[in-house]
Amino acid sequence: MLVIPKQGEGRTYTLPCNVCGLKGLRPRRRLPQALAREERMAIYHLSASMIGRSSGRSATASAAYRAACVIRDKRTGEVHDYGRKTGVEATMILAPEGAPDWAHDRAAL
């Protein structure tokens, strides 16, 4: 099933065969039998960048934007509200067992 994203959902990736199906075209070559049986796998993608105050950026604002939530910056008192941002499917903080409470608090990180 091909899902067409709504405007403003951010980056969305699809297989070339799905794009061809959307336009009413056929892919140039057939998929191998293993893939034709609905055995698909997601492709992991990570993009990391440095966020520094020296360049006028805020790590707290960036965290609120990426998580689509509200975070108050304890250093400056500013409230960064990205609660209405769309396109964020899920967010999580991974910490080891026995980690202190602040390790699970997005604003403290």
Evaluate whether residue 3 is within a structural domain: no
Evaluate whether residue 64 is within a structural domain: yes
Taking only the tens place, the pLDDT of each residue in 12-41 is 555 555 555 555 666 566 666 655 566 667
Evaluate whether residue 2 is within a structural domain: no
- Give the pair of three-digit tokens for residue 32: 């191998």
Taking only the tens place, the pLDDT of each residue in 36-92 is 566 667 888 888 888 888 888 888 898 899 899 999 988 889 999 998 888 888 888
Evaluate whether residue 5 is within a structural domain: no
Evaluate whether residue 25 is within a structural domain: yes
**Number of domains comprising the chain:** 1
Range of the domain at 48: 16-104
Evaluate whether residue 26 is within a structural domain: yes
Q: Which of 107, 42, 104 is nearest to 77 (CA)?
A: 107
**CA angle (104 as vertex; 69, 9 as ends), nearest 5:** 30
- Give the pair of three-digit tokens for residue 72: 């108050």
Read off the pLDDT band of 102 (50, 70, 90). very high
